[in-house]
Structure 1
Amino acid sequence: MSPRILAIIAAFSASFIYGVNHTIAKGLMPDVIGPYGFILLRVSGAAIIFWIISLFYQREKIAFEDWGRLVLCAIFGMVINMNMFFKGLELSTPINSSVVITLSPVLLLILSALILSERITLLKGIGITLGLGGALLLILFGVKTQANAPNIPLGNLLFIVNATSYALYLIFVKKLVEKYSSITLMKFLFLIAFLINIPIGSSQFAAVEWATLGFDEIWKLGFVVIGTTVLTYLFNIYALKQLSPAVIGVFMYLQPLIAALFAIITGSDQLTTLRVIAASLIFTGVYLATRKKKVKVLADES
């Protein structure tokens, strides 16, 4: 099998894991484990795994001046981002979460304009407006509650906080990615995130009745820690070696489809007309906001 085919399989696998994670993670909260305790488990497990993996790589030393940025990246990428997503998932629904988080590229564009002074064109401005409009439609006019979602508007709002925090992480981590290997960054980022998350999630983590957990709960917890946190990262890294970032980005649009199908099949969620309209606005907005202008190249006539 060619390396490119393997890369496509890896990219699809990452999107598939992310897609089903919306339903699997939600099914564990809050009866098995609270959202903040879940994140403490997630970052501690990932930290252990990445530190073990790092033993097989050349050791890198983090420069003193980079520690502040590293801590900032951990806060936005593995603390605020993850806690807001899981708390939002507890309050809202798998389909809503998978749709709203696709706003990440739009929010990244807005924050890049504010922080990095990048220019926003008219087309991108229209895309931003449509994308945010779709999200507001879900928050303001969507179903307020359902059996497994006690506060859908607040949960959807937390998804936007989650996506905003992740966009900030992407902006701040860029300089670190240029200096250090991915494994080095991940092992330190998750270690810092673990330390910060201890006071946030320790009480919920301690409240879990670990001795009484059945196989169904254990494999789902393992899926989130190993699959969603570690394997997806490794799959995307492998895929990026053969595919362009633009191609990888296309697979992001598979996540809501996979999440919706899985949630509907398992009976965890259902489609509504409003959700379809909101998703259409968000997808169109993301497409317009991230669309690159084609440059015509004139042939050399000399």
Structure 2
Amino acid sequence: MSRAVQFSEYGTPGVLRIVDVPPLTAGPGQVRLAVRAAGVNPIDWKILHGFMRQVMPVDFPGGLGSDVAGVVDQVGEGVTAFSVGDEVLGASLTPSYAQSALADPAALVAKPASVPWEVAATLAGSGITAWEVLNKLKISTEETLLVHGAAGGVGTFAVQLAVARGARVIGTASERNHEQLRSFGVEPVIYGKGLVDRVRAISPHGVDAVLDASGRGEIPDSIELAGGPTRVLSLVAFDATDTGIQVHMTEPGAGAPQALGDILALIEAGRLQMPIAGTYPLDEVAAALAVSQSGHLSGKLVVLPA
């Protein structure tokens, strides 16, 4: 038996339970992982509350988590990409808030020895999302990108990936996160009323593109600063599609090899950092989700199931 987080009804983190579950078996084209770390993402608590039930219904009892880092301990028929004992990171097929998880090898990459487990577990969801949206926005050298929620999970990746591309990056965040953003090469500004004036004070002609990773209602300001909706993209403002902006949702594991390869290369070169805001044992997953839902994080939260 192994331990896993499960819930049998939608609700607050209080409905979560740690249960013993039968061992998983890797089917054809799958690998089984001994999970060392699992990344916490906002979509996890949204699934728990039932906010995603129309597009991602839960088959109860259900689990949470898709970002994973661990050691391959079983290989299914036909798998040649990985062997037992390999350290990997990516997205799981089964919930990753557990001691064991199944994964598609195509959604995994090898974990470099220099990358800590807790960092490895944060890369698939937020990292791939940031990589994808920068491509979707066609961010290039010498362009100016405005990122809302620049100190959050996706924002932290996005601003560093954009800087690595040679873009100028302006990021909205709480003042307590400004110094960290400056260390990434970002020009920080306070979010909220008067944002357009604050951005124009340092970028008089506005910006070339906007990534909204916060959902604080900045879409009108974003469209104004970008000179139109075409290159404004939101990860959260699904109710603003009628404005002409782009709305993006990443599928777990999508685009993993190239995106994760690029991200890992930057980490190993010292050009990208992922601050860890907190780590939690499996028994404290409810606390991790409560912190995630509260917002205003600087970096990522990670569950350590072992």
Q: TM-score by structure 2 length? A: 0.24
Higher relative contact order (CA 8 A, sep 6+): 1
Q: TM-score by structure 1 length? A: 0.24
Instruction: Answer 1 or 2: which has greater helix percent.
Output: 1
Instruction: Answer 1 or 2: which has greater strand percent.
Output: 2
